[in-house]
Structure 1
């Protein structure tokens, strides 16, 4: 008979399996899998791998601009915090390197003057 201790690795795997699927879906650029994992609640749209929020991962991904917009809207609609900051206190506007994506974020979501000013003052990369 299996003890509670024997089941620990299985419990860890079951709890983290959706995130492994999310990583795979991101690697193969499968929007349907990502959408399913977020819509079903299997992954928390505010989490990723402990280094950066999922929204930032979407921004840095190789997805097309329309796909990035779709993923950002989906994550926010399912609870992702658009005002989240990374460990270095950078917000989503500071992560954005694309003029069209920045325009999308500023027109689609509300940001405080402080967030916009912070992004303006700390962005040292030209927008593309």
Structure 2
């Protein structure tokens, strides 16, 4: 059982590292079409289980996006509680997403060359 747990831990670490590398751009992509508030983003990410994350990961990421000028915020009154903070993509964020989208296929293909048996040759 211990060997299985070690393998599961290593697999979870690998997925976690992949998620960390692309989560920012997945969030930017979710903001591309319309502003969203934090819980909406968490739910949208959870729709793809490998991208599911926690508030403790998402909200610091949203703060970094705002501080770096990739996202902006505004408040909207809520009928069911306090005002909600919405996040929207800035022009700079849109540009960053476009650049990432342009690099992603080449990056994915390069990694696949190493992962797919026989693809490197």
TM range (shorter): 0.3 to 0.5
Q: Give the TM-score of the pair, scaled to structure 1.
A: 0.32
Q: Give the TM-score of the pair, scaled to structure 2.
A: 0.33
User: If each structure's helix is expressed as a fraction of its own residues, which one has the higher value?
Assistant: 2
User: If each structure's strand is expressed as a fraction of its own residues, which one has the higher value?
Assistant: 2
**Higher RCO (Cα < 8 Å, 6 or more apart):** 2
